[in-house]
């Protein structure tokens, strides 16, 4: 980074004002962001428009990410970019890491005097750096829950500048964080347009038909007329008291979304796992989180081994084939039938707060076709040193609607939408006339 940092924390906790409220009379009830799975990285990619004049900005969606960050060093020329001055209301909203007091160079989006700074995280490569906080105009589509509606603009959308693009899909210029901070996308959208702090993700497994992120409460309608905001099961969202970011300041809590898995079942039978690993301990280790940057579920080694063993046992009649990395359990798929809900294998159940709240993972979310006749269980061994014991990854949440209610701190989940005869790739993106 070009900035010279003198670390003094000067950002007083001023009352939060709505200084960045939208200058628009049309007030949307909800917004949508189409999200496409990238075929080579399996990242989920979204595009918004930003800057004056508007240019498209392509971002990797990071469910637990702290805010939007982007590379503003290369080709960032905008007449509406504003650095967030130290001591400003924006700066207190952002809970700054530091204040960059002086940049000796020419003023630019990555070179400002007296500007707030935050640690940003590339959660794919686990690299972190410090970047300037600023704001600029962005535009996004509103929705009636069924089709896209009129485009709305947010004149002073807060984000952080930093060039950390290693490991991100081709063409991507940063990450769109949907995590638990006051400046993540869902929080900023909800405060600007005064709708409830609720958002939902519905990721498509297909790289051809986009899935969708909804900001605001339902309806979330998919063709043919399935409202995925109904008939959800709910489980509390759990806060991890210790940050899970690559770099952080002592005392920071995690901005990622954790749920309380109490036990795991395969074929409706409990898998013997070390229950200590399912809880979050005082130093932030353990527990279960949901991630859009891990393409497949990653398990602590001891949980992985237990799940593989139980799953293999439940399909002991099916011939195995040699495993294909990164997976460790593969079958000859000619011996596995297909069902409504994907490959005909036993479900893997995550039992949540009680035995009646169960997240069932069916074949479409568990089995990965790695070649013409090989199907592998789509989970990965994370080793024994993982911080989080269960990271539910993209493949396991595709075609499931997950609704995050940040006010009630709960997750609503639909289970596989095939059961309702639709998919996350079935949102009708035709503009409502």
Q: Which residues bind ligand NAG (CB under 6 A)?
A: 102-103, 105, 107, 111-113, 147, 223, 274, 276-277, 281-283, 285, 321, 332, 334, 373-374, 428, 430, 432
User: Which three-class secondary structure state does DSSP give residue 312?
Assistant: helix
Nearer Cβ to ligand NAG (194/332):
332
Tell me the closest approach of the beta carbon of residue 112 to ligand NAG, in angstroms: 5
CA distance 228 to 233: 11
Tell me the closest approach of the beta carbon of residue 277 to ligand NAG, in angstroms: 5
> Could you tell me which of 284, 279, 238, 280 has the C-alpha nearest to residue 258?
238
Give the neighbor-by-neighbor strand order of the sheet with 320-321: 320-321, 330-332, 374-377, 367-371
Tell me the closest approach of the beta carbon of residue 167 to ligand NAG, in angstroms: 26
Q: Which residue has the tokens 């994370």?
A: 382
- Measured in residues, the chain has a length of 433
Nearer Cβ to ligand NAG (147/153):
147
Can you read off the two tokens belonging to residue 208? Answer: 């051809």
Tell me the closest approach of the beta carbon of residue 330 to ligand NAG, in angstroms: 9
Nearer Cβ to ligand NAG (177/378):
378
DSSP conformation class of 420: G
Tell me the closest approach of the beta carbon of residue 318 to ligand NAG, in angstroms: 10
User: Which three-class secondary structure state does DSSP give residue 269?
Assistant: strand
Nearer Cβ to ligand NAG (24/144):
144
Nearer Cβ to ligand NAG (127/144):
144
Nearer Cβ to ligand NAG (230/432):
432
Residue 418 CB neighbours (<10 A): 18
Tell me the closest approach of the beta carbon of residue 321 to ligand NAG, in angstroms: 4
User: Which three-class secondary structure state does DSSP give residue 299?
Assistant: strand
> Could you tell me which of 244, 251, 357, 343 has the C-alpha nearest to residue 290?
244
Tell me the closest approach of the beta carbon of residue 171 to ligand NAG, in angstroms: 28
Angle in degrees, CA 367, 375, 425, rounded to 5: 45
User: Which three-class secondary structure state does DSSP give residue 165?
Assistant: coil
Tell me the closest approach of the beta carbon of residue 106 to ligand NAG, in angstroms: 6
CA 72 from chain center: how many Å? 22
CA distance 77 to 73: 9
Tell me the closest approach of the beta carbon of residue 223 to ligand NAG, in angstroms: 5
Nearer Cβ to ligand NAG (146/360):
146
Tell me the closest approach of the beta carbon of residue 282 to ligand NAG, in angstroms: 4
Nearer Cβ to ligand NAG (276/338):
276
Tell me the closest approach of the beta carbon of residue 428 to ligand NAG, in angstroms: 4
Residue 75 CB neighbours (<10 A): 8
Q: With DSSP H G I counted as helix, E B as strand and the rest as coil, what are the percentages for the chain, rounded to 5?
A: 10, 35, 50
Nearer Cβ to ligand NAG (57/111):
111
φ, ψ of residue 413 to 5 degrees: the values are -135, 140
Nearer Cβ to ligand NAG (53/337):
337
Alpha helices (runs of H) in 136-270, residue ranges in sequence order: 185-193
> Could you tell me which of 200, 257, 251, 256 has the C-alpha nearest to residue 230?
200
φ, ψ of residue 397 to 5 degrees: the values are -110, -5
- 379-381/297-299 β-pairing: parallel
284: left (phi over 0), alpha (psi -120 to 50) or beta: left
Nearer Cβ to ligand NAG (357/370):
370
């Amino acid at each position: 980074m070009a900035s010279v940092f003198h670390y003094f924390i000067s950002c007083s906790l001023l009352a939060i004002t709505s200084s960045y409220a939208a200058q628009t009379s049309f007030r949307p009830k909800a917004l949508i962001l189409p999200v496409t799975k990238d075929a080579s990285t399996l990242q989920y990619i979204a595009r918004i428009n930003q800057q004056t004049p508007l240019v498209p900005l392509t971002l990797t969606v990071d469910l637990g990410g702290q805010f939007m960050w982007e590379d503003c060093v290369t080709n960032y020329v905008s007449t509406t970019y504003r650095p967030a001055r130290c001591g400003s209301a924006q700066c207190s909203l952002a809970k700054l890491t530091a204040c960059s007091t002086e940049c000796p160079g020419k003023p630019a989006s990555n070179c400002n005097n007296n500007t707030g700074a935050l640690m940003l995280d590339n959660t794919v490569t686990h690299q972190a750096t410090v970047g300037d906080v600023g704001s600029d105009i962005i535009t996004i589509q509103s929705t009636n829950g069924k089709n896209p509606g009129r485009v709305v603009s947010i004149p002073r959308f807060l984000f952080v500048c930093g060039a950390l693009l290693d490991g991100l899909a081709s063409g991507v210029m940063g990450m769109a964080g949907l995590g638990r901070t006051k400046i993540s996308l869902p929080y900023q959208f909800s405060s600007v347009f005064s709708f409830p702090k609720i958002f939902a993700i519905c990721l498509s497994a297909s790289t051809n038909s986009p899935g969708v992120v909804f900001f605001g409460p339902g309806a979330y309608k998919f063709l043919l007329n399935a409202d995925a905001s109904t008939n959800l099961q709910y489980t509390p969202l759990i806060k991890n008291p210790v940050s899970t970011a690559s770099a952080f300041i002592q005392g920071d809590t995690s901005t990622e979304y954790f749920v309380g898995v109490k036990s795991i079942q395969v074929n409706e039978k409990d898998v013997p796992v070390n229950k200590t690993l399912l809880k979050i301990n005082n130093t932030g280790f353990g527990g279960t989180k949901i991630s859009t940057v891990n393409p497949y579920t990653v398990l602590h080694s001891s949980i992985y081994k237990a799940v593989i063993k139980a799953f293999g046992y439940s399909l002991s009649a099916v011939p195995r084939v040699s495993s294909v990395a990164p997976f460790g359990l593969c079958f000859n798929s000619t011996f596995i039938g297909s069902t409504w809900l994907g490959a005909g294998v036993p479900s893997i159940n995550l039992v949540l707060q009680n035995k009646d709240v169960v997240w069932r993972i069916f074949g479409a979310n568990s089995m990965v076709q790695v070649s013409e006749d090989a199907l592998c269980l789509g989970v990965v061994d994370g080793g024994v040193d993982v911080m989080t014991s269960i990271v539910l990854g993209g493949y396991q949440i595709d075609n499931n609607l997950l609704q995050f209610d940040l006010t009630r701190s709960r997750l609503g989940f639909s289970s596989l939408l095939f059961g309702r005869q639709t998919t996350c790739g079935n949102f009708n993106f035709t503009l409502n006339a």
